[in-house]
Amino acid sequence: MADSGDTGFSVTQVSDREIVMTRTFNAPARLVFEACTRAEHMRQWWAPACVTMLVCEMDARPGGTYRLVTRGPDGNEYPFTGVYREVVPSERLVYTQRFDVEPYSRDEALITVTFQEHEGRTTMRSSILHATPEACAAHIGSGMEAGAAEAYNQLEELLASMPVANAVVG
């Protein structure tokens, strides 16, 4: 698993069921949080550039749901769904995620994202707790590390274009 240096990007398997991704962004926590909870922003960065975002629906509140559908370069569609369990603006998101493709759709992951700001930069830490060791191994084997690195680079570009003064919280 890798660490890319100045951005602090790393992917670490911390147990047989859990992966932790960390990245530092040049933006305040409220802006990073907004980019992670509003569909108009997520659709611009969430998937690698070779993937087309077909559907991006989000209701980022406790009990709210989301649905993301992407189309890969292979022409296949990849749907992801989940429910928000905890939403603390600029600090924390907890939600479930289901990759709705057999045989993976029966395995739901619990994702906890924290946003820690220091001197105008925000470290985003995403813990992905899989239901089984097999689901975790499949996730790692999917190429998720390279895809996440590219998506996070796109998020950094998006954040640079967002007006800091107009960030919406909540």
Write out pLDDT tens, residues 10-27.
Answer: 999 999 999 999 999 999
- This prediction has a pTM of 0.89
Q: What is the DSSP letter of 164?
A: G
Domain count, the chain: 1
2 within domain boundaries: no
Average pLDDT, the chain: 91
Task: For residue 97, tell me if it sits in a domain.
Answer: yes
pLDDT at residue 19 in the model = 98
98-157 tens-digit pLDDT: 988 776 667 899 999 999 999 999 999 999 999 999 999 989 998 899 999 999 999 999
Q: Give per-residue pLDDT as tens, 78-104.
A: 999 999 999 999 999 999 999 887 766
| Structural domain boundaries, residue 85 | 10-160
Task: Tell me, yes or no, whether 126 lies in a domain.
Answer: yes
Q: What is the pLDDT of residues 117-126, one digit of tens each?
A: 999 999 999 9
DSSP string covering 140-156: HHTTHHHHHHHHHHHHH
